[in-house]
Structure 1
């Protein structure tokens, strides 16, 4: 998935970015931002430098999930400096949430203005050296997705992580996202099934709140890898609401091995997919 300078265009601020992953789903409410956040944290805990580009312009939730609300974006010679989430500067984040004067302000923009900001996020953010740039997208297959792909594709080949929940309604919508990937030539790294059962914190019994197995079946039908299932977990929810590092603070949680396994499969699968 690496590209030499000039192979896909003049890299500019993306020159130091090795891999770009788009987190997609045809349906809202499946946890794309959750998976984007926890994937970044899991990769960081494996020694990787990660950037997150939040192009969910109408619902920028990742600043809160990473405890970065209220931080400011600064300018440098190369453009905007992303917000660094940790002191080690191993996770950097760019989101429209940092540009709003009021966090409760609604982004009431038409397509051209959204597309222009996405292109600016790609060209004018000084990402520096990154192993991964994780791109959190809104639901669907519309303007923001096309603008993101058109802006990023000249610089690096792109991989897609497709998120679903187990129930048939979600799987049906996400199937359209896989069709979108095929039509646009977007390589699919794999499918992740989120909210896959609730593991009781007291007795460890798993209750399949939303049925089970839909994500794995979808991956098999589409001929793409199934990367794993992430259970509903109160500790994960609390860590996201409070902006805490779930991977560091809750290693005994039921969701921890699922998330670390998915991150490892992403690391293992990228070289083969883009060789």
Structure 2
């Protein structure tokens, strides 16, 4: 299985060495969003976040949601973020296939937390598009694709699949906090967190909310072309600035494999060396490369496990090799 190590919880007496409450694009002497000087110190002059920080009515100090999140996350053994920085590289599809693979062992409890608030696709990919979240005395109940595979997404809360989500940062952050503190996940062996493109609100929020519970690490997904690799480099920098361990890099859509003859053709040519070169440059482990298979998209549309339906595909072999890497 992917090598993950449970991170020790951070207590108030032992503050984290990283400061996830400081934006990744902040000036060098940023006081942090929880400081009384947020938006008011000399270092804040010229910062894009200055007005937001200065006008915030949120009480400074520890977020009151953190103790509740820590209590919920106490029963989650491993927490893994799936990141990229680039849209359209297959993060959600990879997250779903990883979840199906973990859940293929009936003794492994798996949960998927969909943080792509403006473009939630996990409900469709897991075959849960028409499901809704229900409340109970213990909180929101996640939606189950099978007895040991649960998911939560804003997609379950929308009146229709056509509904646009047009929220500013504070509302997004509030929903993320609710997903972590109000959802009755129960015991989980793995929580996989599917993230949107970029290094902004959703990413900073989940890191801040889970800093006391511990994040085991991040899997970064890219495609071979340089335009995708540029954003992944930024994501690597983000992880290192906020102290998220990087479990490895996955090259998705690395080539097209014909389902009939199994011949592989390069669709997105790695003009600058692809994920392999990036892994070498940044000292990040390359977990593997997943070739294009048109049936992956079909499985995602129908909400079924590609690994179960097409066990002989080279893409299935690549997925399983990544999972069993260590």
Give the TM-score normalised by structure 1: 0.92
Structure 1 residues 4 and 24: CA distance shift in structure 2, 3 A? closer
Native 8 Å contact 2:72 2:181 kept in 1: yes
Three-state SS of the structure 2 residue aligned to 1:251 is coil
Gaps of 5+ in 1: 269-275
Structure 1 residues 139 and 3: CA distance shift in structure 2, 3 A? closer
Native 8 Å contact 1:235 1:253 kept in 2: no
What's the counterpart of residue 115 of structure 2? Answer: 55
Which of these residues, 258, 261, 264, is aligned with residue 200 of structure 1?
258
What's the counterpart of residue 184 of structure 2? Answer: 126
Report the Cα offset of residue 76 of structure 1. 2.2
Tell me whether 1:71 sits opposite 2:75 in the alignment. no
Three-state SS of the structure 2 residue aligned to 1:71 is coil
Three-state SS of the structure 1 residue aligned to 2:116 is coil
Counterpart Cα distance in 1 of 2:216 and 2:204: 13
Q: Which has the higher helix share?
A: 1
Tell me whether 1:231 sits opposite 2:235 in the alignment. no
Counterpart Cα distance in 1 of 2:216 and 2:100: 20
Three-state SS of the structure 1 residue aligned to 2:204 is helix
Native 8 Å contact 2:10 2:214 kept in 1: no
What's the counterpart of residue 269 of structure 2? Answer: 211
What's the counterpart of residue 91 of structure 1? Answer: 149
Structure 1 residues 227 and 46: CA distance shift in structure 2, 3 A? farther
Counterpart Cα distance in 2 of 1:25 and 1:186: 14
Three-state SS of the structure 2 residue aligned to 1:53 is strand
Three-state SS of the structure 2 residue aligned to 1:191 is strand
Larger Rg: 2
Counterpart Cα distance in 2 of 1:156 and 1:81: 23
Counterpart Cα distance in 2 of 1:117 and 1:230: 32
Deviation per residue, 1:236-261 (Å, 9 max, x gap): 11111111121211101121000111
Tell me whether 1:105 sits opposite 2:163 in the alignment. yes
Deviation per residue, 1:193-223 (Å, 9 max, x gap): 0001001122211101001451111111111
| Alignment RMSD | 1.6
Three-state SS of the structure 2 residue aligned to 1:230 is strand
Q: Which runs of 4+ in 1 moved over 4 A?
A: 3-10
Counterpart Cα distance in 2 of 1:157 and 1:239: 29
Report the Cα offset of residue 158 of structure 1. 3.5
Native 8 Å contact 1:14 1:128 kept in 2: no
Structure 1 residues 3 and 22: CA distance shift in structure 2, 3 A? closer
What's the counterpart of residue 26 of structure 1? Answer: 85
Gaps of 5+ in 2: 13-65
Counterpart Cα distance in 2 of 1:3 and 1:216: 28
What's the counterpart of residue 51 of structure 2? Answer: none
What's the counterpart of residue 215 of structure 2? Answer: 157
Structure 1 residues 247 and 81: CA distance shift in structure 2, 3 A? same
Three-state SS of the structure 2 residue aligned to 1:68 is coil
